[in-house]
Structure 1
Amino acid sequence: MDDQNLFNLLALLKVDGVGDVVGKKLLHSFGNASAIFKAKNTQLALVDGIGSVLLKKLKDKTIFQKAEKELDYIKKNNVNVSFFQDQNYPERLKHCFDSPILIFTVGNIDFEKKKMISIVGTRQITSYGTDFCRKLIEDLAPLDPLIVSGFAYGVDIVAHQAAMDYNLQTIGVLAHGLSQIYPRTHKKYMAKMEENGGFITEFWSDSNPDKEKFVRRNRIVAGMTEATIVIESADKGGSLITANMANEYNRDVFAVPGRVTDKYSQGCNNLIKTQKANVLTNAADLIYMLNWDIKEKPKNIQKQLFIELDPNEQKVYDFLQKNGKELLDIIAVQCEFPVFRMSGILVNMELKGVIRPLPGKLFEVI
């Protein structure tokens, strides 16, 4: 995007009352921000949501001074800007009706990655949540997913750290501008995240992390990925808002179950109980439900000459070796495993490179 178009878009977004929904209606009607500012009031009034008050605000010249200041910050700090109609805008987020017209990013972010998941949860993460989060990301690492979270205390930062530990790209979605970082104690993680991932925000550089901005931030977390995972949550909290948004965007939602007496499992248990989330007990659940292509060669893993199989995997391997390709349900019956457990065993064997899936839920030995 050239500087003039960006300047006009920034000015449009600085008009009090022009949010993402009204802004998109204006852009759809007039083609670009420059044409909006040149349009007559009679033309603007034909757009749904434009009343007399907003008409006056669209003629406020101070918005251009503010836009010029922000454009100067963007250029001096090498901030990347993505317009919602551009190719470099997160594909899934484009299809959310209230997605930001502009997002500002820093780092090395690959928005074209196919496997993208959000991991959210309480800021008061327990050892149970920490262990589960790290194990989940470790087991998903061979599939090279992109991990999105909110860079907050608790589940967020554990997810980011685990992603970095396993060399996965990770993105922090911020509830403030790029001229600062919140919480400040997480500043030490920024450089490493920007090497393989980075930060996204819809807020201007001087925006502070006000309470209402965290809710707005959550729609980006939910909208840009194919699934949202809630690790731990009390019966109320921002992660539940994110889960509800993900459901509204028709995304998959997963929740980690816990004991009914555990405070930070109540939110997850309620999501599962009300059928707003799938049960997540391990990486195999996620891989199976998302139908991720496990035939892709795992990253940085060489095929071993001698692969260790546990007794259950060996039983399945021997069956397929003897009988050739077979349906999942038949394998489960013949090997005497419940179907839900059979799915997890097959996923693990695929990750080890000893079997492969075929169309129609068939599997065969490699």
Structure 2
Amino acid sequence: MVEEQHLYEVAITKLPGVGTQLTRQLVSYCGSPKAVFEANAAKLSKIPGVGTVSLRNILEGRKQALYHAEEIVKQAEAQDVQLLFYTSPKYPDRLKQIADAPALLYFRGNGNLNQRRIISIVGTRQITNYGTSVTEKIIESLKPYNALIVSGLAYGVDVVAHRAAIQAGLQTIGVMASGPETVYPAVHRKYAERMLTQGGLLTENSFGTRPDAPRFPARNRIIAGMSDCTIVVEAALKSGTLITADLAHGYDKEVMAVPGNITSPVSEGTNHLIKSLKAVAYTSVQDLVELLNWDLQDEAAAKKVKQPSVFSPEEFTPDELKVLQVLQQNGEEQMDNLSWKSQIPVSMLASVLLGLEFKGIVKAKPGKKFALIS
């Protein structure tokens, strides 16, 4: 019998006309994907974002969505694919902070998608000898930091990064534009199979999805969103790689680019990123270490500096601690965002916030925003 939780998590992503944002809204207000399927029309119609059309789509599409989901869950079990809904602790935390992150991911492998240090390495398919050498050098220099390497399993820089990570003993994740069972290009299957025991393969696409061209830009947002920094090795001035860099920049993620020969077409993109101040020049691993403050982090760890717990578990409820943790990490938050980040339904969150206000810990701000009282 298929696991009920996964069944409803998959099913809610199969409701017609219900995108990622509305999915989060529905779960936030109803409390769980299952509750969305059990809610009546009156309750659903009161949820912000649910209009006449979307209400009809939800009510009329629930039965078919559950049927479709059951088939997907069975396939996942048969092919050892993990179904990671955005509320799962295994879902990439960094990606969860991105507004357009997928509600559901399909994952094969043993990698930790929330590893302490995650770096994306991307670039042209027409990689040069210089690009190959630099990519391998970057990976080798990341060994002491035990970084997880993310790329897109494509020709060129992507596969060189995956291969170098495997050889260096680092975990590496290939983000795909196809279904979880389809490795594209097929010639990279030998690397993909090795990655299953030293990282894994990740996609937002269900079984049977072909790697059609429009899916690659969508895949790029996952590559950009789940890492601490995106490093562009080589890229033409007009290329999909620059889309990834732009996405990372738009997500307020760090972007680095390797300076290249000014006469090389595949260095035009990287040099432009540096020139336009959209990327920091990468000349050695020390540039990355200083940009991300890894040196300071390691220094603190070496001295065993432990920050005292500001909030005692004895003084707050589990839900209050979840809210406090989110506000500590992100500063002020709008109520709906606070709901899905803390995984507390809006209906319950209001009372939690009220309790924290009475305790003098949290204050309400204009626009339904909340923040810690400094």
**What whole-Å deviation, never above 9, does each CA across 1:216-239 have from its counterpart, x for those lacking one?**
111111111100001111111111
Map 1:81-160; keep pairs closer than 5 Å.
81-160=83-162
Q: By how many angstroms is 1:296 displaced?
A: 5.4
Q: By how many angstroms is 1:295 displaced?
A: 8.1
> Residue in 1 aligned with 2:36?
36
> Residue in 2 aligned with 1:50?
50
User: Amino acid of the residue matched to residue 275 of structure 1?
Assistant: L
Q: By how many angstroms is 1:240 displaced?
A: 0.9
SS at match of 2:202: strand
Unaligned runs of 5+ in 1: 298-366
User: Take 1:117 and 1:272, find their aligned partners in 2: how far apart are those partners?
Assistant: 18
> Residue in 2 aligned with 1:250?
252
User: Take 1:145 and 1:227, find their aligned partners in 2: how far apart are those partners?
Assistant: 11
> Residue in 1 aligned with 2:175?
173
Check conservation: 2:173, 2:200, Cα contact below 8 A.
Answer: yes
Q: By how many angstroms is 1:72 displaced?
A: 0.6
User: Take 1:216 and 1:174, find their aligned partners in 2: how far apart are those partners?
Assistant: 10
SS at match of 1:293: helix
> TM-score of the superposition, structure 1-length normalised?
0.77
Map 1:265-304; keep pairs closer than 5 Å.
265-293=267-295
Q: By how many angstroms is 1:112 displaced?
A: 3.5
User: Take 2:212 and 2:88, find their aligned partners in 1: how far apart are those partners?
Assistant: 29
Q: Alignment RMSD, CA only?
A: 1.7
Check conservation: 1:115, 1:144, Cα contact below 8 A.
Answer: yes
User: Amino acid of the residue matched to residue 246 of structure 2?
Assistant: N
User: Take 1:239 and 1:230, find their aligned partners in 2: how far apart are those partners?
Assistant: 7
Q: By how many angstroms is 1:103 displaced?
A: 1.2
SS at match of 1:199: strand
**What whole-Å deviation, never above 9, does each CA across 1:24-49 have from its counterpart, x for those lacking one?**
11111111112212223333233333
User: Take 2:130 and 2:17, find their aligned partners in 1: how far apart are those partners?
Assistant: 44
Cα 1:295–1:57, aligned 2, differ >3 Å: closer, same or farther? closer
SS at match of 1:157: helix
SS at match of 2:150: strand
> Residue in 2 aligned with 1:17?
17
Cα 1:193–1:241, aligned 2, differ >3 Å: closer, same or farther? same
Check conservation: 2:9, 2:85, Cα contact below 8 A.
Answer: no
User: Take 1:48 and 1:272, find their aligned partners in 2: how far apart are those partners?
Assistant: 42
Check conservation: 1:143, 1:294, Cα contact below 8 A.
Answer: no
Q: By how many angstroms is 1:155 displaced?
A: 0.6
**What whole-Å deviation, never above 9, does each CA across 1:306-363 have from its counterpart, x for those lacking one?**
xxxxxxxxxxxxxxxxxxxxxxxxxxxxxxxxxxxxxxxxxxxxxxxxxxxxxxxxxx
> Residue in 2 aligned with 1:7?
7
User: Take 2:57 and 2:244, find their aligned partners in 1: how far apart are those partners?
Assistant: 32
Number of residues of Structure 1 aligned to a counterpart in Structure 2: 296
SS at match of 1:195: coil
> Residue in 2 aligned with 1:202?
204
> Residue in 2 aligned with 1:27?
27
